[in-house]
Amino acid sequence: MEELVKALTIGVTNGLIIGLIAIGYTLVYGILELINFAHADVFMLGTAFTYFATELIVRGLGIPASSTLALFLTLLALPVIMLMTAGINASIERLAYRPLRNAPRLAPLISAIGMSFVLQNVGLLLLGPSQKAVEPVLPRTDLVFFPSGAAWFGIDEIIVLSVTIPLLLALRWFVGSTRQGKAMRATAQDREASGLMGIDVNRTISLTFLIAGGMAGAAGLVVALYYGQTFFQYGLQFGLLSFTAAVLGGIGNLTGATLGGLFVGIVAAMSDRFIEAKWTSVIVFSLLILVLIFRPTGLLAEQQSERA
């Protein structure tokens, strides 16, 4: 029972991180009908930037890693990292996808695969070929104890949740309630008609990529701190999990992406704990294939049903 609750906590924490990345896939797919293969590698660059930020704070400024100040400064770096990954993501759109806006669908997809490899190699240049340990700025104090005295969850999980949940809510509000969000939804429904209605389509698409990149950057920071390491192949690992989450939730559906992330996170945590960690990817990918075969529109209905 305690095992189950502990696995559930880890699953929810991971699930919200996966949801944060999945939202990037879902936003971009909703608006361009493109699986942005490079998205997860933007996230990977976010973990790399976080690594360098903590190095700067701990090594450069000489602030002890376990101090509250180090944690505070790292969290201050969050907006900077988000801006950087947002800029990278928007530049990718400008360079590799926009020239192919009216090309057949295979063309931007392959271009995206190409960008993914470019970013992966940038990560390889920045981080080297092996995992890099991130300074332990995230306190690991356990908070709640079972009657037996075993730990349930810790400050680290609370901090992760306090980054991911507000971001997810803010995004929901932005897309659902602002003028720009309305423009995004309109462009997703019908790009041509939105252009005729006076929406600057290119600007809206750029904005979508900025937001998706920012979310990926935030997820990068959280993963680098929570996992305590960064790796140039994180893109592929988390990318497939997150894409599965986006598909599970019905691609194009923001709430669905978050719920899908939670589902994937919990399934992965359960598999890690009760089956074996090496089988987790197999289970998640099989889940993806099964969902696509039996419910190609995801477990929740797709928002724009004519796209199904």
Partner 1 sequence: MTEMVRAPRRTFPNPMAGMDDRRRQIVILAIVVALALLYPLVYRRLSDAIPFVPWPDTAVLVVCATFAILALGLNIVMGFAGLLDLGYVAFYAIGAYTTAFLASNHFGVHISWWIVLWLAVAAAAIFGVMLGAPTLKLRGDYLAIVTLGFGEIVRLVFRNLGDITIALPAILGGAVLVGPNANLTGGNVGINPIDPPIIPIPGPWGNQLIFSNQNVIASWYLVLGLLTITFFICRRLRDSKLGRAWMAIREDETAAAAMGINTVTTKLLAFSLGASFSGFAGAFTGAYNTAIFAETFSYNVSILVVVIIILGGIGSLRGVVIGAFALLYVDRTLLPWIGDNIINDPMHDLGVSTGQQILTDFKLTTYNYLIFGIVLVIMMIRRPEGLFPDAGAKAEMHGVGIAAEVTGASEAELTVLGELEEVELDDAPDPDPNAPAEPPSTTTGPEAAR
Q: Provide the binding-site residues for partner 1, judged by CB under 8 A.
A: 33-35, 95-96, 99-100, 103-111, 113-118, 120-122, 124-125, 128-129, 236, 240, 243-244, 247, 276, 278-279, 281-282, 285-286, 288-289, 292-293, 296
Q: Is 133 exposed, middle or buried (0-12, 13-18, 19+ CB in 10 A)?
A: exposed
In the complex with partner 1, the residue whose CB is nearer, 115 or 215, is 115
Please state the closest distance from residue 85 (CB atom) to partner 1, in A: 18
In the complex with partner 1, the residue whose CB is nearer, 167 or 288, is 288
**How large is the angle between the packed helices 2-32 and 234-248, nearest 10 degrees?**
80
In the complex with partner 1, the residue whose CB is nearer, 176 or 296, is 296
Please state the closest distance from residue 124 (CB atom) to partner 1, in A: 7
Please state the closest distance from residue 244 (CB atom) to partner 1, in A: 8
- What DSSP assignment string belongs to 224-257? HHHHSEE-TTHHHHHHHHHHHHHHHT-TT-HHHH
In the complex with partner 1, the residue whose CB is nearer, 53 or 247, is 247
Please state the closest distance from residue 241 (CB atom) to partner 1, in A: 11
Give dist(CA 216, CA 199) in Å, integer.
26
Count how many residues are written for the chain: 308
Give dist(CA 9, CA 151) in Å, integer.
11
Please state the closest distance from residue 131 (CB atom) to partner 1, in A: 15
In the complex with partner 1, the residue whose CB is nearer, 11 or 123, is 123
173 contact partners, CB below 8 Å, separation of at least 6: none
